[in-house]
Amino acid sequence: MSQRAEHLAEERRIYFEGIRLFNEGQFFEAHDAWEENWRTVLHRRREQYYRAIIQSAVTLELLRRGRAAGVRKVFISSGALFDTLPTVFMGLNIPEFRRRLRDAIEPVLVDLDARHVQIDPTRLFTIELEYDPFETSCNSEEADGRGSG
């Protein structure tokens, strides 16, 4: 296996491990996993995408910790990163993901004076990809690392 193929296999493993952790409600751990990819990926748009999903996981971790102001701040920051990506990127339907994230933190967004909040587990959601971006490049992911975005 070439070094490039090994790198992509490792990136894929970490990406899906982060999704598994996120789906289990282990947001801090998902953040840690995706941060490994963010630090090593060479593709500018994928780097931006990893930053956005990392910040989304941080948003939910801050919600778990009851830190309302942090939730709002990081949510806005993640949204700005998602804004310039295609509608579906790395298999993720970004508008749907953002809508579900917003729904999860809605109580914090409605009450801007709230300093502390309790997480409502019924508002949490899981990530389901529309395709495997390491098998198929549908929106310029160029999972082989050739592109610069």
Output the CA–CA distances (angstroms, integers) from residue 92 to 16, 62, 66, in the order listed: 12, 22, 27
Predicted TM-score (pTM) of this structure: 0.90
Question: Could you list the pLDDT tens digit for every one of the 149 residues in the chain?
Answer: 788 788 889 999 999 999 999 999 999 999 999 999 999 998 899 999 999 999 999 999 999 999 999 999 999 999 999 999 999 999 999 999 999 999 999 999 888 787 788 888 999 999 999 999 998 777 667 654 443 33
Q: Quick one: pLDDT at residue 147?
A: 39
Q: Quick one: pLDDT at residue 144?
A: 45
Q: Quick one: pLDDT at residue 34?
A: 98
In the block, which residue shows the tokens 């502390």?
Answer: 116
Q: What are phi and psi of 89, to 5 degrees?
A: -145, 140
Give domain 3-123's CATH superfamily: TTHA0068-like (1.10.3450.10)
Rounded CA separation 86/141 (Å): 10
